[in-house]
Structure 1
């Protein structure tokens, strides 16, 4: 399912025009990205949580040059579904 499909489904079920729904969906995504960029988690009760995970520093190998490189610690976004969400999908 793409963003366009989601916008169409919401538009059909609510009767709101697609441009308004698209603006709302894009605004939601921007707010989530902005919060995660500030290391703030986003909790949606009954759906799940968008969280920031910290990856520790590690040593890796560049096979083509046969050298080791150090990958610094960094944050990555992650999604953790709620229990009701998991039960519905199962």
Structure 2
């Protein structure tokens, strides 16, 4: 099962006793803060949850799947996530 943004909005609404629009606005504002922070190249550390980190990928050789032509793909930025030890332990407890 996949948790959607709407599911999260509903849980925020129920937990914090907010109206639907207020919960949605809260969720949208949080996501906007995360997007702006990552776009500026800064990392995000959420204690007890994990760290979102912006990394640089170097240029590399690639192949056009349609023509088989070898080409150089430019460098780019990617976002990685590393969960905290606390979250990792919680996830592993549910598996056992």
Q: Deviations over 1:5-36 (max 9, x none)?
A: 11111111121112111111111111111111
Q: Given the two structures, how large is their TM-score scaled by the length of structure 1?
A: 0.92
Q: Which has the higher strand share?
A: 1
Q: What is the CA RMSD across the aligned residues, in angstroms? A: 1.1
Query: Runs (4+) of structure 1 moved beyond 4 Å?
Result: none
TM-score (norm 2): 0.86
Q: For structure 2, which runs of at least 5 residues remain unmatched after alignment?
A: none
Alignment coverage as a number of residue pairs: 90
**How far is the alpha carbon of 1:61 from its aligned partner?**
1.2
Structure 1 counterpart of 2:44: 42
Q: Partner of 1:14 in structure 2?
A: 16
Q: Where does the alignment leave 5 or more consecutive residues of structure 1 unmatched?
A: none
